[in-house]
Chain A
């Protein structure tokens, strides 16, 4: 839904009309992952009630305790109201007008990857996500999730050698119910917020990852999410557990077809990090953002949170270029002494996209440290907000935080906003916050032009340079993808 853009206060000089035009041209490229796959889909009836929750649970042949947990979450959700505080505007969502379960139809349990529906495999091939063993070459294990169901996981056998469990959430419920039961909701309880409650009631699949004590996961683990069916909410649930001294680097990518109507995505990611363990979680989010007039696009309401125990470390790195609406605050509860939380984010909005994203760092343990590097880029008529909370509890002696929140404006019709919150209850805390707002200057562009570089390359170069601190936190392959994605997302938006 297009809104009247809030005129930014930085609208003094954004380059000549010609430059503006080029910016516009560059930033108006089309979404390249917008195809749909014509595949037989198993749908639950439209709408949401206890029967639907039971339907989903039954479809997945879940144990009684899990159904009970879902129902509790559903009842909780009914009592809750949608949060209105984010700096985003969208028409009321009719939660009864969506499908809460959609699965690509597949007859039987798969024995090997070769049995995956060729059409599905084609879809993932088109996306560059090969769910065949060719991924061996790059050493990335992939769990591919289409609509709500995990389609295939590569490398399971190799991972099993190390005692690593990586695969779909549903499988984990069947094969490792004790682990799922122990950790599900331990970091994000179903009472946490409106969307977390909704997810807890209706989540249909997602990824589960367990790294045993002292194991360093020998490869990157990757989950690929895709929404395909129309009018479908995707509610995946990811649970990562790193036992004492374990290490894992986890990647998450997302795309969706172009549809006129808005698609709802409400995921929950929980990461439980035991003593001395480390988890790196990287996301390249590229859900369909809607067209250049603000029609369609994914509504992305995501709750991501990690809890760190003694000497443990979590880094969230995210590159957000998609979704019509993004509402997302990957957070860390720094419970154990000496534990570390990091958040590196690039959030790019173009056309009519709106993003309200940031992080929460909750320092509970002594000597806990957190770093926040946020790079917002606004182009077109978009609105981009950083919202971050740093909380230092009264027992968190010598907690330290460094936050840097930069905003870059491209053109004169977009907005950048920063909402930092600090709650400090221990006087030994050291908290630093730096914020800058800049625009791609006419001077910078002219300088590059004068060296023979085209305007489009000049803008990409400036934007990529601006994001460098975040990109270098990404695994190599992902960083390259992120750079390309940024260039494509800026096409036709910036001058």
Chain B
């Protein structure tokens, strides 16, 4: 699905990622965990194509294409979806109009016909149930006066409509109460399939109780310092990041 090799990246001259290697196969769920400032969100944003980061070294292959050469909209059309940590408000643009435009841009890219209003409505009604959202959401302006939980659910709803091949969740759990967290996780779980992969970026292990990953990677100071199975997340929950960081510091010394 995606293959990240020796990825280095910096912002305004400060190196944030210092050689990331990550291989995600179809159907796998990888969790990337790490303390604040470790570079987790940077990684997610670079994969989506945000421009303020400069990739200085390394390569990323996405479905056989050189991801770093692709424009952000082309990455999206090829099936890469980022669930934003801070979803953006677009006043005056209805969720429905926004999603229909996005969906049809992706379909056009695939050489498919644009979806008409009836078909679209049927699809979105179905997908709304996945995140337990009311139809009223469709007519509201994108993320405007949405609660924190609604914004995150809206991200997962969009993902469900656009059906990406790779979903990247950037701290989707932040700011969610336990009920909203369950709804969001449940939505993601329903989207899991042998063809679809996920990279779940999170600070806390809590989300991983509900979205059980196949692999967990611990990111610290721009590098993956440890990888393991779902049990690694539980270890972190009990022992915190410090022990691991210290051990790694000693090993490096």
Contact = CB atoms under 8 A, between A and B. Distances in A.
Contact of A450 (B76, B92, B93, B101): B76
B158 A451 contact: yes
A452 B103 CA distance: 8
B48 interface: yes
Contacts of B84: 447, 450
B92 A468 contact: yes
Given A444-B90, A446-B72, A461-B101, A452 B109 contact: yes
A437 interface: no
Nearest to B99: A451
A465 B92 contact: yes
A442 B49 CA distance: 13
Contact of B141 (A443, A450, A452, A465): A465
A480 interface: no
Nearest to A443: B88
Interface string B62-84: 00000000011101110001101
A442 B106 CA distance: 21
Interface in A456-495: 457, 461-462, 464-469
Interface in B88-145: 88-93, 97-99, 101-103, 105-106, 109, 141
Contact of B105 (A19, A441, A457): A457
Interface string A209-240: 00000000000000000000000000000000
Contact of A451 (B49, B92, B102): B102
B162 interface: yes
Contact of A452 (B76, B91, B93): B76
Contacts of A443: 88
Contacts of A448: 90, 98, 102
B57 interface: no
B135 to A, nearest CB: 20
B82 A450 contact: yes
Given A450-B48, A452-B162, A464 B92 contact: yes
The contact size tier of chain A is: 20 to 34
A106 interface: no
Contacts of B81: 450
A179 interface: no
B50 interface: yes
B90 A465 contact: yes
Nearest to B88: A447
Which of the listed residues B84, B93, B97, B105 has the most CB atoms from chain A within 10 Å of its own CB? B93
B91 A451 contact: no
Contacts of B99: 451
Contacts of B101: 453, 457, 461
B116 to A, nearest CB: 18
A448 B103 CA distance: 11
B162 A18 contact: no
A452 B90 contact: no
A106 B81 CA distance: 64
Nearest to B106: A452
Contacts of A467: 92
A457 B90 CA distance: 13
Contacts of B109: 452
A455 interface: yes
A447 B49 contact: no
B87 interface: yes
Contact-residue bracket for chain B: 20 to 34
B104 to A, nearest CB: 9
A449 interface: yes
B23 interface: no
A109 interface: no
A449 B49 contact: yes
A494 B72 CA distance: 18
B73 A455 contact: yes
A454 B105 contact: yes
A442 B82 CA distance: 16
Contacts of A451: 76, 98-99, 102, 105, 158, 162
B87 A453 contact: no
B170 to A, nearest CB: 11
B149 to A, nearest CB: 19
A16 interface: yes
A172 to B, nearest CB: 40
A461 B82 contact: no
A340 B91 CA distance: 27
A455 B72 CA distance: 10
A450 B49 contact: yes
Given A461-B98, A461-B101, A464-B93, A453 B88 contact: no
B33 to A, nearest CB: 23
B75 to A, nearest CB: 8
Contacts of A466: 91-92
B51 interface: yes
A454 B106 CA distance: 10
Nearest to B72: A449
A316 B11 CA distance: 49
Contacts of A446: 50-51, 72, 88
Nearest to A446: B50
B86 to A, nearest CB: 8
Interface of B: 48-52, 71-73, 75-77, 81-82, 84, 87-93, 97-99, 101-103, 105-106, 109, 141, 158, 162
The 6 closest A-B pairs by CB, nearest first: A465-B92, A468-B92, A465-B93, A451-B102, A452-B76, A447-B88
Given A447-B87, A450-B73, A461-B101, 8 more contacts: A447-B88, A448-B98, A450-B48, A450-B49, A452-B73, A452-B76, A452-B109, A466-B91
